[in-house]
Structure 1
Amino acid sequence: MTPTLVHRYSWPVREAIEHLLDDVVGDCEAWQVRIEGEQLVIDVVGPSEVTFRVGDYEYTVDGREQEPSNGAAKISTAAPEADAAPAEPPRKGGALARQAGIICGEKGFWTFVLKKFGATVSSADEAATWLKAQCGVTSRIDFDHDAGKAANFREIDGAYRLWLDGFD
């Protein structure tokens, strides 16, 4: 059977996107519209003069520095000195930190810790404290940034998964 076109609707692109996104599109330069599965995805491309703030400094999209907004001294954008270290972005947790958080909330993990390691754990916070001490980290974020600590976590997580399947 051949599908039959019953209705066709058409709108000017800008009008349709403004209706869907309200004020978000006010000063944008373009849109990228596509269908992903059952989702209509609209990427709004902003103007090139957009600035963003890092601490007291504002930067344009292309990385040129603007004057600080609070009267602080402007940092030179010239080539960095040899002894000046670039600022590192804040570390964030990823998949391993998320997985560690999930298993620490599982009562089965608490039982596993008792049976396998002899440690009594009765809450997600206690499980997190035990896991961090066992792996030698101060934060679950470290699992995503330190290969050795990640290996420690993966070993415990793997043993827990086997234990859940009935293997000791």
Structure 2
Amino acid sequence: MTPTLVHRYSWPIAEAIEHLLGEDAGDAGAWLIRVEGDELVIDIIIGDIAQASAEVVDIEHARQQRTSNEAAKINTAAPEADAAPTEPPRKGGPLAQRAAISCGEKGFWTFIGKKFGVEVQTAEEAAAWLKAQCGVNSRIDLDYDEGKANNFHEIDTAYRLWLEGYD
């Protein structure tokens, strides 16, 4: 089963450290926070941050060599903070909505039969025909592809004119 991120909590580090450690946090210049097994480990660094960082890196390098299997499990289970955000799912916009409404209208089914000679008796059949005519897999694609949108506009314009009595 693929892990699914359900909730993400964000808390400023200084505030979280103070909450967890109270006054023991002191006037820390930096913190090194990691998960070791089932424990949250916080190293408080006071003084020359550059020197301390180099020492911490050496300590961490040695620790990582000893616990590489455990670290691999942690890294695969926890989302990376620097990971690029995934693209949001595409949603249907105004063209997809308009196409869906038209496909549900019995007048559109009749229009398809009279204009294109294709018998349509359900909204699903109308949707399948429209997708084939526009060259899309989903009506959502109409809002993301200008060429496919133009195909839909031609059909929709003809349908609207047909509704007004023009052939």
Using the size of structure 2 for normalisation, the TM-score is: 0.54
Deviations 1:72-92 (A, max 9, x none): 5323323x6xxxx65111111
Q: Does residue 77 of structure 1 match 2:26? A: no
Deviations 1:125-166 (A, max 9, x none): 110110000000111111111111111111111110001111
Q: How does 1:54-73 map to 2 (within 5 A)?
A: 55-56=4-5, 58-60=7-9, 72-73=76-77
Relative to its length, the structure with more helix (as a share) is 2
Relative to its length, the structure with more strand (as a share) is 1
RMSD: 2.7
Structure possessing the higher relative contact order (Cα contacts under 8 Å, 6 or more residues apart) = 2
Q: 1:131 & 1:61 partners in 2: Cα distance?
A: 46
Deviations 1:18-55 (A, max 9, x none): xxxxxxxxxxxxxxxxxxxxxxxxxxxxxxxxxxxx94
Q: What runs of 5+ residues in structure 1 fail to find an aligned partner?
A: 1-53
* Structure 1 residue 105: Cα displacement: 1.1
Residue 70 of structure 2 is matched in structure 1 by none
Q: Does residue 151 of structure 1 match 2:100? A: no
Q: 1:105 & 1:96 partners in 2: Cα distance?
A: 14
Q: What runs of 5+ residues in structure 2 fail to find an aligned partner?
A: 14-34, 36-73
Residue 120 of structure 2 is matched in structure 1 by 121
Using the size of structure 1 for normalisation, the TM-score is: 0.54
Q: 2:140 & 2:4 partners in 1: Cα distance?
A: 23
Q: Does residue 102 of structure 1 match 2:101? A: yes
Q: 1:103 & 1:154 partners in 2: Cα distance?
A: 12
Q: 1:116 & 1:123 partners in 2: Cα distance?
A: 17
How many residues end up aligned between the 2 structures? Answer: 104
Give the match's secondary structure for 1:119.
coil
Give the match's secondary structure for 2:86.
coil
Q: Which has the larger radius of gyration?
A: 2
